[in-house]
């Protein structure tokens, strides 16, 4: 039942707001689901309907949707120092303490921290840092980035250029910086007929090296990648891929950037994705689960070697001419510090590792479902890709129609997932229990069965 309040909000939203990642004309007709409150792994809409938030908002709420300690940390800091900047030799305790914590938690060779308010801003900053770094070394031609097709690194002009998804480029005139996108390391979709996974890995590494040599190693500044790709469809790279990429970066003096905006702080059952995948980045980017998204915050953590070059250049020219009004915001960093304490105290990284088995194995039982081509994932991130033909892996035409319907059915069944085309993605809060995981798995089965009935009614199967 629609309440007067929910109806009023519905009308106001339609008449005032342009939503991200939304068909605006479609939104004018159907309007929003207005989320009113949260509790644990659940959220409630303005009509009182309860949902399991199985995407953690946007891959980001580790500790659930009503953690009082984070509210208290924010209020205490608001009352003490609600805002101050970190420009021109100024600082404050929350940003200092969080930087200490990040240096402690990340791989030991990463020793320096720079804050932004989002992962997009962070990756945009990485581009500028890397350019600044190479200019300082007298290598003005070393500016190109290597990224991957289907990568997601954000939506600013620079980070959106690094992203490898067509809808983030179309009509935005992106890429707008020098970037080369390599083959996505997803064997199911991009492996060739008769090719083994090991051969696929070697082909991708050969492609990367050939690209470096074709473009010229003296022009390639950095390789950026998510350890496990998220918004492009939850793709886990094959064994040997990341160590091979790291070896190429070392061979050709290319900085290696690990985009941990989704992977970081336990999502894969390890503190960071680079640890899970077995490589050591020069630069590591974090956000989302850093504060459980209670406050907008991101952090770039990088090596002393990179810092030294940048620091020397700031001394030579007099400043590091980059930063944001909210860089190291005291309330955001206070919340981030408390959030990381909770993750450690409650062993939520260990919880993700322990529940990875039941969660992943539960979902993999749907591999035999008539709609499902592949079930994939690791830790507490997973995806089910729906295909028109399981044997040939042929996608549905148009892509996204069936996924959109499954997304809607999920809401009807009380589970929020995300459709990435016809791939259904799951990324529940790190606080889930084994019973929660089982319930998510159960509802996914209902969603698939109802989606199959829809597909039959539409003549899609």
Give residue limits of the domains in the chain.
33-63+347-457, 69-345
Nearest to 425 by CA among 236, 210, 198, 213: 236
pLDDT at 455: 98
At residue 5, the pLDDT reads 63
The encoded tokens of residue 140 equal 């003005």
Query: Could you tell me how far CA 69 lies from the centroid of its own chain?
Result: 25
Q: Where are the alpha helices (DSSP H) in 184-329?
A: 187-190, 197-215, 241-251, 273-277, 304-317
What is the C-alpha to C-alpha distance for residues 355 and 440, in angstroms, rounded to an integer?
Answer: 12
* Strand partners for 209: none
- Do 213 and 254 form a contact (C-beta atoms < 8 A)? no
Cα–Cα distances (Å) from 57 to 149, 292, 384, 417, 442, in that order, read: 24, 9, 18, 9, 20
Segment holding 179, helix H or strand E: strand 179-182
CATH number for the region 69-345 comes to 3.40.640.10
> How confident is the model at residue 1, as a pLDDT?
53
Distance between CA atoms of residues 301 and 98, nearest Å? 12
Give the C-alpha distances (Å, rounded to integers) separating 69 from 65, 75, 346, 429. 11, 10, 13, 16
CA 215 → CA 175, 223, 224, distances in Å? Answer: 17, 13, 16
Instruction: Identify the pLDDT of residue 25.
Output: 97
Question: pTM for this structure?
Answer: 0.97
Q: Which CATH number among 3.40.50.300, 3.40.228.10, 3.90.1150.10, 3.30.70.1880 corresponds to the domain 33-63+347-457? A: 3.90.1150.10
98: helix, strand or coil: helix
Tell me the mean pLDDT per 10 residues along the chain, length 461. Answer: 75 96 96 97 97 98 98 98 98 98 98 98 98 98 98 98 97 98 98 97 98 98 98 98 98 98 98 98 98 98 98 98 98 98 98 98 98 98 98 97 98 98 98 98 98 97 94
Dihedral, 120, 121, 123, 129 alpha carbons, nearest 10: 170
Residue with tokens 């030799």: 89
Which residues fall within 8 angstroms of residue 458, CB to CB, at 6 or more apart? none
Give the C-alpha separation, 208 to 51, whole Å.
43
């Amino acid at each position: 039942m629609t309440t007067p309040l929910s109806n009023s909000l519905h009308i106001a939203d339609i008449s005032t707001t342009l939503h991200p990642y939304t068909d605006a004309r479609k939104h004018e007709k159907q309007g929003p689901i207005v989320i009113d409150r949260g509790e644990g792994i659940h959220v409630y809409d303005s009509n009182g309907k309860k949902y399991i938030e199985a995407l953690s908002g946007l891959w980001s709420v580790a500790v659930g949707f009503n953690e009082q300690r984070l509210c208290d940390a924010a209020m205490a800091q608001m009352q003490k120092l609600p805002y101050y900047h970190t420009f021109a030799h100024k600082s404050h305790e929350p940003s200092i303490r969080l930087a200490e914590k990040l240096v402690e938690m990340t791989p030991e060779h990463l020793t320096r921290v720079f804050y932004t308010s989002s992962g997009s801003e962070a990756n945009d900053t990485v581009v500028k840092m890397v350019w600044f770094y190479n200019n300082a070394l007298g290598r003005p031609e070393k500016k190109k980035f290597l990224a991957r097709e289907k990568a997601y690194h954000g939506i600013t002009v620079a980070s959106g250029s690094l992203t490898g998804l067509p809808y983030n480029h179309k009509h935005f005139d992106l890429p707008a910086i020098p970037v080369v996108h390599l083959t996505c390391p997803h064997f199911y979709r991009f492996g060739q007929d008769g090719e083994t996974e090991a051969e696929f890995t070697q082909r991708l590494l050969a492609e990367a090296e050939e690209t470096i040599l074709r473009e010229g190693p003296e022009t390639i500044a950095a390789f950026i990648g998510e350890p496990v790709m998220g918004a492009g469809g939850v793709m886990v790279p094959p064994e040997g891929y990341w160590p091979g990429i790291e070896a190429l970066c070392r061979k050709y003096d290319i900085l290696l950037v690990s985009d941990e905006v989704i992977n970081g702080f336990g999502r894969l059952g390890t503190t960071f994705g680079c640890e899970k995948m077995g490589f050591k980045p020069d630069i590591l980017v974090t956000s989302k689960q850093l504060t459980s998204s209670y406050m907008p915050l991101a952090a770039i953590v990088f090596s002393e070697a990179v810092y030294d070059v940048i620091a020397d250049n700031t001394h030579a020219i007099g400043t590091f001419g980059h930063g944001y009004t909210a860089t190291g915001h005291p309330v955001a960093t206070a919340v981030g510090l408390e959030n990381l304490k909770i993750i450690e105290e409650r062993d939520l990284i260990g919880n993700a590792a322990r529940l990875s088995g039941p969660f992943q194995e539960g979902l993999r039982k749907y591999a035999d479902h008539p709609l499902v081509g592949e079930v994939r994932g690791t830790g507490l991130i997973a995806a089910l890709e729906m295909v028109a033909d399981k044997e040939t892996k042929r996608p549905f035409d148009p892509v996204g129609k069936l996924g959109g319907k499954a997304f809607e059915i999920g809401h009807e069944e009380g589970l929020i997932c995300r459709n990435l085309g016809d791939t259904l993605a799951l990324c529940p809060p790190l606080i889930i229990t084994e019973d929660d995981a089982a319930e998510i798995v159960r509802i996914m089965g209902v969603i698939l069965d109802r989606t199959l009935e829809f597909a039959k009614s539409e003549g899609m199967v």
